[in-house]
Amino acid sequence: QQQVKQSPQSLIVQKGGISIINCAYENTAFDYFPWYQQFPGKGPALLIAIRPDVSEKKEGRFTISFNKSAKQFSLHIMDSQPGDSATYFCAASNYGGATNKLIFGTGTLLAVQP
């Protein structure tokens, strides 16, 4: 019940295209859903996050879509650029819980071809 399932495992997109990464969770107590971007040899960096009181959040070229009833959320990267090539992790946590530990998906390796 603590799992977050992420797909696809890897993704190749042409420059200018749309990258879509999907995540699903089981624990209905999760109420904070961040996406992290990680470049090789670096730590994860927060990209964008959403709370379940909204169905969509947009920041620049990055959009999170959230479907509470389906317990799914996705990251859309519009106008994908070679510099977006990285590993993307979705995560979830329980805001009201005793801890704020993040449960991560297994990651998606994105390659944007020029």
Partner 1 sequence: NAGVMQNPRHLVRRRGQEARLRCSPMKGHSHVYWYRQLPEEGLKFMVYLQKENIIDESGMPKERFSAEFPKEGPSILRIQQVVRGDSAAYFCASSLDRVANEQFFGPGTRLTVL
Q: Which is nearer to partner 1, 11 or 32 (CB)?
A: 32
Shortest reach from residue 43's CB to partner 1, in Å: 4
Q: Which is nearer to partner 1, 17 or 48 (CB)?
A: 48
Q: Is residue 46 a contact residue for partner 1 (CB under 8 A)?
A: yes
Q: Is residue 93 a contact residue for partner 1 (CB under 8 A)?
A: yes
Q: Given the rule CB under 8 A, which of 11-19, 60-68, 73-81, 92-100 is the region that contacts partner 1?
A: 92-100
Q: Given the rule CB under 8 A, which of 12-20, 38-46, 58-66, 71-79 is the region that contacts partner 1?
A: 38-46
Which of 24, 30, 44, 73 is in the footprint of partner 1 by CB under 8 A? 44
Cα distance between the two ends of the chain: 40
CB atoms inside a 10 Å sphere around CB 7: 15
